[in-house]
Amino acid sequence: PAPGQGALGIECLSARQDLVEMMAPLADPMTTAAVEAERTVSRLLGGSCQVPLGAFAECEGRQLRLRGFVATPDGRTFLAAAASGTADDPQALGAALAAELRAQGADAVLSALGAND
């Protein structure tokens, strides 16, 4: 899936402390970590709505299992990778996955699609 797909985000003015406090119980730290890991992959690889790139993080206790892919639109090239780590540093986990996809040739695939222009 697209990074962050399925996660619900609620915003309010930080000056409205009453609303901030009311919504605090709705925040789930593991969901936040999962989305942050997924979005890091997308950001580092230049993802957009037009780029065939996916990232999906699953929570297992305080651990995150992150899977991702980069592909060509016709599916002839499909690069996949996975990484696991604690939820304490989801950006590092996302960066590790992006680096693995790059090592497999993701930059060449994305450049051919014009994604990194």
pLDDT in tens, 3-12: 888 888 888 9
Residue pLDDT, tens place only, 16-54: 999 999 999 998 999 999 999 999 999 999 887 778 899
Which CATH class, in words, describes the domain spanning 28-112?
alpha beta
Domain ranges of the chain: 28-112
| Residue 90 banded pLDDT, cuts 50, 70, 90 | very high
109: Cα within 13 Å, side-chain hemisphere: 24
Identity (one letter) of the amino acid at 64?
A: L
C-beta of residue 21 within 8 angstroms of C-beta of residue 49:
no
Position 117 confidence tier, pLDDT thresholds 50, 70, 90: low
The pTM of the full predicted model, rounded to 2 decimals, is: 0.85
